[in-house]
Homo-oligomer: A and B are copies of this chain.
Amino acid sequence: MAVKVYGVAPFAGTQVITLILHELGIPFELILVDMLKLEHKKPEYIEEMHPFGQTPVFIDEDGTKLFECRAVARYLAMTHGGDSLYPIKDPKKLAAFEQAASIELTNFHPDILGLAREIIYKKFAGAEPDLQRVSELKASLEEKLLGYERILSKSKYLAGDDITLADLFHLPYGYLLSNVLNEISFNSPKTPNLGRWWDDITSRSSWKTVLAEGEKSPLQLPI
C-alpha cells in the first residue's frame, strides 16, 4: 500500500509534498480533490479530512493523517530521509534550517501568495486583479529578495552549504510567478547569487517530475 496525497497535482501545496516524495524516492498515490466543485468545502471533507477545508492532505501507510504541506515535508524527511534535507540531530544546523524555513513563510510567501491571488486565483471567480495591490506586492517582494541575496552571497543555500527543505519550499509559487508568468525575476543584476540559487533548485529532476505530473492533471490553474 502506498502513501496517499489528496490534492491537485499542479497546485502549490500539493507540489510541495509530491516534490519531497520524489526527492526521497517514496511511491505515492495522488487522489484528486476537485476544488472547482468545492469538494474541499463539503461538511464530510471538513470533518474527516481537513478542519480548515483545504488541500493537500497526506495519509501515511499506517493511517497517520497530516495537513500543512511544510509539516508533511518535515515528517517525510524525518522518517525517510536520514539527516540531510531536515538536519534534526544537530541543534545549530536545525536552528539554521528553521530560520530559513521561517524566512520562506514570513518574508517570501505572503507577498508571493498575494500576487498569485491577484493574478491567478481571481480568474477562477471571473474577477480582475487589483493593479495597485499587485504593484505594492511586487515592490515589497523586491525588497525582500535583496535580503535573500545577502544570505546567498555568504552560503550556497539558505541554511548553509547543503540544500534543505527550506530551499525547496520556494519552488512551487516561485516557479509559477517567475518562470511561467514572468511577473517577478530572481535573476536581476542586483541579485546574482539569488539567480544562481534559483537556477540550481529549479534544475532538480524531482522538480521536473512534479511539473510533468502537473501537466497531466484534469484540473489546471487558469493561466
Chain A residues within 8 Å of B, Cβ to Cβ = 46-47, 51-53, 64, 66-72, 74-75, 78-79, 88, 91-92, 94-95, 98-99, 101-103, 105-107, 109-110, 113, 144, 147-148, 150-151
- The list of the 10 closest CB pairs from A to B, nearest first, reads A68-B102, A52-B147, A71-B98, A51-B150, A75-B95, A71-B99, A51-B147, A68-B99, A105-B105, A71-B102
Q: A68 contacts which of B53, B88, B103, B150 (Cβ < 8 Å)?
A: B103
Q: How far is the CA of A221 from the CA of B160 in the complex (A)?
A: 36
Closest CB of chain B to A115's CB: distance in Å?
Answer: 14
Residues from chain B with a CB closer than 8 A to the CB of A79 are: 91
Residues from chain B with a CB closer than 8 A to the CB of A98 are: 68, 70-71, 74-75
Residues from chain B with a CB closer than 8 A to the CB of A74 are: 94-95, 98
Query: Is the CB–CB distance between A64 and B147 below 8 Å?
Result: no
Specify which of A69, A71, A107 lies most central, judged by the most chain B CB atoms within 10 Å of its CB. A71
Assess A110 versus B110: contact at CB under 8 Å? Given A78-B94, A91-B79. Answer: yes
Q: How far is the CA of A147 from the CA of B40 in the complex (A)?
A: 13
Residues from chain B with a CB closer than 8 A to the CB of A47 are: 150
Q: How far is the CA of A91 from the CA of B74 in the complex (A)?
A: 9
Residues from chain B with a CB closer than 8 A to the CB of A67 are: 99
Residues from chain B with a CB closer than 8 A to the CB of A72 are: 95
Closest CB of chain B to A76's CB: distance in Å?
Answer: 9
Residues from chain B with a CB closer than 8 A to the CB of A99 are: 66-68, 71
Residues from chain B with a CB closer than 8 A to the CB of A105 are: 102, 105-106
